[in-house]
Amino acid sequence: MGTVGNALDLLDLFTRAEPQLGLSQLARASGLNKATCHRLLTELESRGLLEQVGPAREYRLGPAVLRLSALREAAVPTREAAMPTLRRLAEATGETAHLSHLVAGRLQTLAFAYASRTGVRVMMEDADFLPFHATASGAAVLAFHPDPDALIAAAPDPDALHARIRDAKTKGYAETLSTFEKDVHSFAVPLCDATGACTGALAVAAAAPRMTPDLHATITRELALAGAEITQLWGGQPPMTGDAR
């Protein structure tokens, strides 16, 4: 991998759980030696993509990231365009709704919304990466991606994953139960661009003990409507399902 790729991989190591990282942590997590890692960090810091804070001089994301994010959102409204629909979906189902986007071959959480009337809820974190093999969002993307094998190197249970993918192609939505988080029942639909290519997923994550036939029907109905709405807002078109595919 080239220098630019290594530098960008360092940025990916920052998470909500670990917003600040030291040189030793970054070198260890990236597999780079300390000298190379320090050189890349210094370059990123000089461009405002990272900054050092605190007595330990740990690194965190810098203000230049905000400018890039604002420029992207202004040019291609994605998160903000979808948020009203995402909030309505959470309220209509009474469960957690979340949106993910396909970025460089990985599925990244872009936004989420909680229902106001639900005390016990499935908690989310933005900017997390979702595993393709274990989530409804991942299965929805794989079912409607032109080259799903390019997105997954291996799955612990490939037979179960391929069964979910086939089911999603037929129904138009993917469904999982306790595959990523225990007692979480999730549903997801693909989101597509103007060419019909899958660019992400919209999902509802519900507490499994609350699931009833009526809630199941409500979630799949509202999810399909919200998915079509966000796809339209993004200038896309829904994928073909079942026999139409």
Q: What is the pLDDT of residue 234?
A: 87
Whether 80 has a pLDDT exceeding 70, the answer reads yes
pTM (2 decimals)? 0.82
pLDDT tens, residue by residue, 131-166: 999 999 999 999 998 888 888 877 888 888 989 999
Architecture of the 76-244 domain:
2-Layer Sandwich (3.30)
Q: What is the DSSP letter of 21?
A: B
Phi, psi of 183 (to 5 degrees): 60, 25
Each domain of the chain, given as residue ranges in start order, spans 3-66, 76-244
143: nearest Cα among 116, 162, 118, 124 = 162
Fold of 3-66: Arc Repressor Mutant, subunit A (1.10.10)
Handedness of CA 222, 227, 228, 234 (dihedral sign): positive
Distance set, CA 199 to CA 87, 142, 235 (Å)? 20, 11, 12
88: nearest Cα among 225, 205, 201 = 225
